[in-house]
Amino acid sequence: MNGWAFAFTRRWAGYLALTILFACVCAGLGVWQLARRNEALAEIALVADNYDSDPVPVAEALPDLAGYDDDDQKWLPVEMHGSYLVDQQLLVRNRPLNGNPGFEVLTPLKLDDGTVFVVDRGWLPIGSAQDAPDEVPAPPSGEVTVVARLKAGEPSIPSRTAGEGQIATIQLDDIAARVGADTYTGAYGLLASESPAARDQPPAAVTKPQPDEGPHLSYAFQWFVFGLMAFVGLGYAVRQEYRTVNADDPEERERAAERERRRSARKRSDSEIEDEILGSR
């Protein structure tokens, strides 16, 4: 067998199929990375649009206690009036901040209309001698005006446990069952401000997310390049086998000799090149 006939055998058809499969996987991973980038860009746009916008009444933003649109309302500031239910306060476990373990403080706010909205008042570090904060700052007593930024509740994780007065995740349906009132279960709020202010230093507030789309675009480009390189590698392998199969062909022998001559020329040492230059003077 000579010429290119070998490339049409079952063996090379298998190599081609594997190459196409590998390229399809790379293309799929590249598209997935582009989708991840689009999600990051959408999050950046939400922060830009909502985070510093004027607060709206919570009843206007969430007319349904279970209603909430994460693609449109995340980080939206809402304003509400009521009083904190300190006896229903909860600590959310396993909430690191800047690499430090700690808790988030959830304090339900009973609004003037009798409904309850869960407010995340911020972060506290783990205690010095116990698995709880050394002290939980008290919220303002009496009537208070609160501005909070909306976030979706979290799913429950059955494998996680928590002690008395603590929860593993911000599962709003579970919190509503604890509070025993008409509670907003579509979203909770990250505290932005409260008036009057608390007498004690409040927990550490959540900072504004910094725009960062991540490395998804470069990863997508790399996956697409890997897919293309698979075909380049296949072409190189075909060419090498062609040279082996047709080694006795006079034209291929001539091309092989020319390639060897060029390789030998590139392998000349610096001293040989220097001697050649000096000898030509």
**pLDDT tens digits for range 28-60:** 999 999 999 999 999 999 999 999 999 999 999
Cα dihedral 156, 157, 160, 166, rounded to 10, equals -10
pLDDT band at 2 (very low <50, low <70, confident <90, very high): low
Secondary element (H or E) of residue 169: none
Structure confidence by residue, pLDDT tens digits, 240-262: 888 888 877 777 777 777 777 77
pLDDT value of position 268: 60
In this prediction, residue 134 carries a pLDDT of 84
Q: CA–CA distance from 192 to each of 30, 75, 195, 212 (Å)? A: 38, 10, 11, 22
Task: Return the sign of the alpha-carbon dihedral for residues 108, 124, 186, 158.
Answer: negative
154 sits in which H/E element: none
pTM (predicted TM-score): 0.75
Q: Which residue has the higher pLDDT, 268 or 226?
A: 226
Amino acid (1-letter code) at residue 185: T
Neighbours of 176 (CB within 10 A): 20
Other C-beta atoms lying within 10 Å of the C-beta of residue 213: 14
CA 150 from centre of chain = 20
How far from 195 is each of 48, 71, 85, CA to CA, in Å?
25, 29, 16
Give the confidence band of 175 by pLDDT, cuts at 50, 70, 90.
Answer: very high
| pLDDT for position 135 | 87
pLDDT at 133: 86
Say whether pLDDT at 149 is over 90.
yes
Q: Residues 6 or more apart from 179 whose CB is under 8 A from it?
A: 85, 88, 108, 116
Quote the CA–CA distance of 144 and 196 in Å, as a whole number: 6
Host H or E run for residue 236 = helix 216-245
Is the pLDDT assigned to residue 273 strictly greater than 70?
no
